[in-house]
């Protein structure tokens, strides 16, 4: 087996090209090293094109090689994409957060990947480059092929960064997860939301729940119910009921019974949407994203 570390994107693409499908991109290795090893590994964790968090032409650009710890602590992500900061803050343990990357989280394609759930709710687009140095964009939810299977072929493509529309003044986002412990614990359910207000109504909403399908799952019925309204107590009760009814969950020995998870889907959907609305109201009044 060979392991190349490079800070040059061109060199990383060359190594993949020369290894004729036997090579593979590696970042923090917190997922990959628990699975299979390829004969030729290319470590991209110090390639500049995959690093950095900045505003770029009306978008927030977040490098695929940004670690969970960096994202959780980033003032820019906390201001513009709080749901992602909250998700990254709850991944694994400090050791995992210090080396595990957002790009690796998405390409590993676990149904409950915390950062991926937040990125889907935020409407993030991934920017990828192939061996011919052609770049293309895809919505994060489109990168899921099946359970634990990504459409990204890490032997011939590199995920460079994520782009998120910068929020308007009336927007808020949030992420929540429910797990038996606060560290190193599988989430029973995780949820994220992004909400934009206009006047006294919700103008746009994205609500996402996981793990119920291979990819983080939009709660379209719940979103439809909220659009154009101003939620009161009664609405929040309906949100809980609608969210729990619109997805089918399975029970598992690793997590818990289907009935308990169905209940959690409703509760987390209500709480995360309510939090996002509260943040949108606060942001409208000139507050930050917290
Ligand atoms: C003890 C432990 C606890 C964990 N807890 C959590 C948790 O609470 N929540 C959670 O979501 N995850 C958790 N994880 C999973 C893991 O840490 C994360 O998914 C992490 O973000 C993976 O990133 P990485 O950089 O280590 O990826 P790697 O292991 O390096 O790579 C993962 C996959 O992505 C590919 N890849 C990586 N970067 C790129 C790129 N730029 N372009 C193309 N392909 C790429 C690799 O080829 C590989 O297929 C845990 C893991 C461990 C070991």
In this structure, are 186 and 127 located in the same domain? no
Structure confidence at residue 285 (pLDDT): 84
Does some domain include residue 85? yes
Among protein residues, the one whose CA lies closest to atom 11 of ligand 1 = 113
* CATH number of the domain where residue 113 is located: 3.30.465.10
Structure confidence at residue 254 (pLDDT): 79
Contact 154, 24 (CB under 8 A): yes
Q: Which two tokens stand for residue 102?
A: 């957002």
Does some domain include residue 289? no
Q: Is 179 in the pocket of ligand 1 (CB under 6 A)?
A: no
Does some domain include residue 206? yes
Does some domain include residue 30? no
What end-to-end distance do the CA atoms of the chain give, in Å? 46
Q: Which domain holds residue 245?
A: 171-284
- Last residue of a domain, which of 99, 134, 165? 165
Atom of ligand 1 nearest to the CA of 186: 8
In this structure, are 147 and 178 located in the same domain? no
Total domains in the fold of the chain? 2
Q: Is 129 in the pocket of ligand 1 (CB under 6 A)?
A: no
Structure confidence at residue 289 (pLDDT): 62
Q: Is 105 in the pocket of ligand 1 (CB under 6 A)?
A: yes
- Last residue of a domain, which of 165, 185, 208? 165
Does some domain include residue 207? yes
Phi, psi dihedrals of residue 101, rounded to the nearest 5°: -110, 160
pLDDT in tens, the chain (290 residues): 899 999 999 999 999 999 988 999 999 999 988 887 788 999 999 999 999 999 988 899 999 999 999 999 999 999 999 999 999 999 999 999 999 999 999 999 999 999 999 999 999 999 999 999 999 999 999 999 999 999 999 999 999 999 999 998 899 999 999 998 888 888 899 999 999 999 989 999 999 999 999 999 999 999 999 999 999 999 999 999 999 999 999 888 878 898 999 999 999 999 999 999 999 999 988 877 67
Residue 106 CA, ligand 1 centroid: distance in Å: 8
pTM, two decimals, is 0.97
In this structure, are 160 and 95 located in the same domain? yes
Residues 6+ apart with CB under 8 A from 102: 62, 64, 66, 67, 68, 71, 84, 88, 115, 119, 162
The best mutation among 50, 92, 126, 158 to test binding of ligand 1, ranked by most ligand atoms within 8 Å of the C-beta, falls on: 92
In this structure, are 190 and 220 located in the same domain? yes
Does some domain include residue 276? yes
In this structure, are 234 and 266 located in the same domain? yes
Does some domain include residue 273? yes
């Amino acid at each position: 087996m060979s392991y190349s570390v490079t800070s040059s994107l061109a060199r990383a693409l060359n190594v993949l090209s020369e290894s004729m499908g036997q090579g593979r991109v590696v970042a923090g290795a917190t997922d990959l090293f628990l699975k299979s090893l390829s004969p030729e590994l290319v470590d991209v964790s110090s390639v500049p094109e995959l690093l950095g968090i900045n505003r770029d032409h009306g978008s927030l650009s977040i490098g695929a090689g940004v670690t969970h710890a960096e994202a959780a602590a980033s003032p820019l992500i906390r201001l513009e994409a709080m749901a992602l900061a909250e998700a990254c803050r709850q991944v694994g343990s400090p050791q995992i957060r210090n080396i595990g990357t957002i790009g690796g989280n998405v390409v590993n394609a676990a149904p409950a990947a915390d950062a991926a759930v937040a990125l889907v709710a935020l409407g993030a687009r991934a920017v990828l480059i192939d061996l011919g140095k052609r770049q293309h964009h895809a919505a994060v939810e489109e990168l899921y092929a099946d359970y634990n299977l990504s459409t990204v072929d890490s032997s011939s493509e590199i995920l460079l960064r994520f782009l998120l529309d910068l929020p308007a003044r009336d927007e808020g986002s949030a992420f929540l997860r429910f797990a038996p412990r606060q560290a190193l614990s599988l989430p029973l359910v995780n949820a994220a939301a992004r909400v934009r207000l206009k006047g006294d109504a919700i103008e746009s909403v994205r609500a996402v729940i996981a793990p119920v399908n291979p990819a983080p799952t939009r709660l379209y019925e719940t979103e439809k119910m909220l659009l154009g309204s101003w939620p009161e107590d009664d609405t929040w009760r309906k949100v809980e009921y609608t969210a729990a009814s619109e997805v089918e969950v399975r029970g598992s020995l690793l997590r818990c019974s289907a009935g308990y998870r169905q209940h959690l889907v409703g509760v987390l959907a209500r709480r995360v949407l309510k939090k996002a609305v509260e943040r949108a109201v606060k942001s409208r009044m000139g507050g930050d994203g917290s």
